[in-house]
Structure 1
Amino acid sequence: MSKEASYKDKKVITIGIVRELTGLTERQIRYYEERKLIFPERTNGGSRKYSFADIELLMDIAEKIEDGVQTFEIRQEMMKEKKAADAKLRKKMIQGQLNAQFGMRRI
């Protein structure tokens, strides 16, 4: 299932542009990466590259931090959301396999 990545997911934006778009400092952005809240790609030269989806996530993180939520709590929430999404995808895949194997339809 190799779909081409959406433009929102392509990591092509430099940290300087991210800083301008979000109003965050480079230090804040790097801190969120250090706290494993954001995962930029690295170029061969070591520069960070972000996506539009990363920018949206950074803005959500900054808003939660401003509301007093700790980075640990944000990471836990993100992990719960990822587990729920993974479980939903797994269920869809199993249903697809059953449909293919037995011609079953979703009830």
Structure 2
Amino acid sequence: MNKKVISIGTVCELTGLSERQIRYYEERKLIFPERMNGGIRKYSFLDVEILIDIANKREEGVQTAEIKKEMNKKNKYDAAARDQAIKGQLNAYFHKRS
């Protein structure tokens, strides 16, 4: 899901977005394609899902700055949840050993 193997042309077909729109979302730091030799962009299936979500929100009138803010908030929440889960696993592991 996270492997960056999809070309921008295929992403355009899958999302209905133009190359220009996709590059704009990259400039706005909403999407992060991998750059190959010669600057060719490669995307993952997760990137495609994110772009579809962005396109839907833009159709609803949501500005890119608000989308970015929402994405940052979600990423912070996901990171905090991961940290909490790891701490719980470590506590359980060391509690068993003592």
TM bucket, shorter chain:
over 0.9
How many Å separate the matches in 1 of 2:32 and 2:78?
18
User: Which residue type is aligned with residue 76 of structure 2?
Assistant: K
Match of 2:46 among 34, 41, 53: 53
Residues 14-29 of structure 1: pairs in structure 2 closer than 5 A: 14-29=7-22
User: Which residue type is aligned with residue 77 of structure 2?
Assistant: A
Question: Is it true that 1:42 corresponds to 2:35 in the alignment?
Answer: yes
Match of 2:78 among 85, 91, 94: 85
Structure 1 gap ranges (5+)? 1-7
Deviations 1:43-98 (A, max 9, x none): 02210000111111101000101100000000000011011110110001111111
Match of 1:74 among 67, 70, 77: 67
Higher helix share: 2
How far 1:100 sits from its partner (Å)? 1.3
TM-score (norm 1): 0.87
Match of 1:98 among 79, 91, 98: 91
How many Å separate the matches in 2 of 1:80 and 1:72?
12
The equivalent residue for 2:56 is 63
**Larger relative contact order, structure 1 or 2 (CA cutoff 8 Å, min sep 6):** 2
User: Which residue type is aligned with residue 25 of structure 1?
Assistant: S
RMSD, matched Cα: 1.1
